[in-house]
Amino acid sequence: MFLALWYYFRGYVIIKVNGFAAERFMNMLSYRGVYLWDVKINGAGVHLKAPMESLDMLSMCAEKTGCRLEVQGYGGFPSKTRRFHGRQVLTAGILLFAIGLYVLSSFIWVIRVEGNERVAQEDILGYCRELGMRPGAWKRGIDTEKITKNILIQFPDISWVSVGIKGTDVTVKVAETIEKTEVVDKETPCDVIAAADGVILKITAERGTPMVKEGDVVKKGDVLISSEILIGLEGEEQHTEYVAAEGTVTAKIWQQLTEELPLSYEEKVYTGETKTNHILSFWGKEADFIRPSMEEDQADRELLFQKDLALGDFKIPISFKKEQYTVYTLEPRSRTVEEAKAELAEMIQKKTEQGVSAYGTIEKIDVRYEEYTDCVQAKGQAELTERIDEKRETEKGREAIDGTDGTNDATGQ
């Protein structure tokens, strides 16, 4: 194998030997140290390969043995390069291509992240860029061990990291820690307060002291379930403790909505005509040389596709995009008062539904209309059943936990 590779780069000659002393011819060459290979007998002749520099020795041995020597061709690397003589441009192009390929393979062009679920891929890639590992970075300048350690320090939810470079690609493999269960704070004293104005329909206190009952009217911020509880039997000395109040409070609340619609308006009427535009962008500046004529036309613009020039993940600030314009005209239209009222009622219904939480329901919606010469205005009041409980930490409870009552103790001064 080694000799074949050696003679490939040195060059070899393919010959045919005719004569009755072909065997003596080959023995003579072997005795003189000439390496022969791919020897094939063809009738009275022999085909074989020999080193290029032994051509004179081949001629001398053929003359001494009375054999006729016929050169059928040349092989190896020198014969391959000989065909490029006189083709300087082609040779230079091949050389530049090889150099460019080597240079490009010395940089990182693609970075992948595998194994992440809770930690966002953008966060990992962004931190890798801060550490110098980005598309277009020189491979030899990347310290994978340092990057691995820094990622483990930066992201507490990652327990194991492997940064591997293969060719021009980098693969960051991560293993995340076991997801922690959500801890509900049941120690810090807090009140349950009203998140909105309303009338109490139902209150369920799991911890704490209820401060309201069914039918009470409350304002936003009122305490519904207090963190203060009295400890001790009735008739005996009691003391106050503070807990993290917990419970659900359902109330009837009202939501005000206002919408307006003009009686006269303009409507888009599409003509069916479309125009296409091709744009070439360089470093954020568009070169729009063949923009279609849109002097008086009104049209909706739609981006059909955009192709950004990139080398792997390395973005080159050159892009090509194709747009389509759908031409329309604005036609005057009018709606009756009744049509406007129907549209307004539907708009208020949709807005109310969007504002209701998963725990709430819509009881009814009352709409009052005001008619003007050019428009109709609707003022709606929606009656909803919603949860209005919201937690708020208390200062008194915090002071009780810290062991102070908020006053200055002068005895120690």
pLDDT of res. 295 = 62
pLDDT of res. 1 = 55
**CATH at 13:** 3.30.70.260
Least trusted range by pLDDT, from 83-87, 167-171, 272-276, 402-406: 402-406
> Are residue 6 and residue 76 in the same domain, yes or no?
yes
Mean pLDDT value of segment 293-320: 78
> Are residue 172 and residue 202 in the same domain, yes or no?
no
Q: Which domain holds residue 302?
A: 264-334
> Are residue 211 and residue 165 in the same domain, yes or no?
no
Instruction: Note whether residue 390 is domain-resident.
Output: no
Domain count, the chain: 4
Other CB atoms within a 10 A radius of the CB of residue 16 amount to 16
Instruction: Note whether residue 183 is domain-resident.
Output: no
**CATH at 154:** 3.10.20.310
Q: Is the pLDDT of residue 409 over 60?
A: no
Compute the distance between CA of residue 195 and CA of residue 182 in angstroms, rounded to an integer: 24
Instruction: Note whether residue 74 is domain-resident.
Output: yes
- CA-based radius of gyration for the chain: 44
Mean pLDDT value of segment 64-81: 81
> Are residue 273 and residue 330 in the same domain, yes or no?
yes
Mean pLDDT of the chain: 85
Compute the distance between CA of residue 98 and CA of residue 108 in angstroms, rounded to an integer: 18
> Percentage of residues in the chain with pLDDT exceeding 90?
37
Instruction: Note whether residue 205 is domain-resident.
Output: yes
Instruction: Note whether residue 381 is domain-resident.
Output: no
> Are residue 123 and residue 163 in the same domain, yes or no?
yes
158-190 residue pLDDT tens: 999 999 988 889 999 999 988 766 666 677 889
Higher pLDDT, 312 or 183: 312
Give the CB-side neighbour count of residue 311, counting CA atoms within 13 A. Answer: 13
Instruction: Note whether residue 97 is domain-resident.
Output: no
Q: State which of 118, 142, 176 marks the end of a domain.
A: 176
> Are residue 59 and residue 116 in the same domain, yes or no?
no
* Distance from the Cα of residue 198 to its chain's centroid: 45
The torsion angles phi and psi of 233, rounded to 5 degrees, stand at: -75, 155
pLDDT of res. 247 = 93
pLDDT of res. 147 = 92
> Are residue 199 and residue 168 in the same domain, yes or no?
no
Instruction: Note whether residue 330 is domain-resident.
Output: yes
Instruction: Note whether residue 374 is domain-resident.
Output: no
pLDDT of res. 375 = 94
Mean pLDDT value of segment 107-122: 91
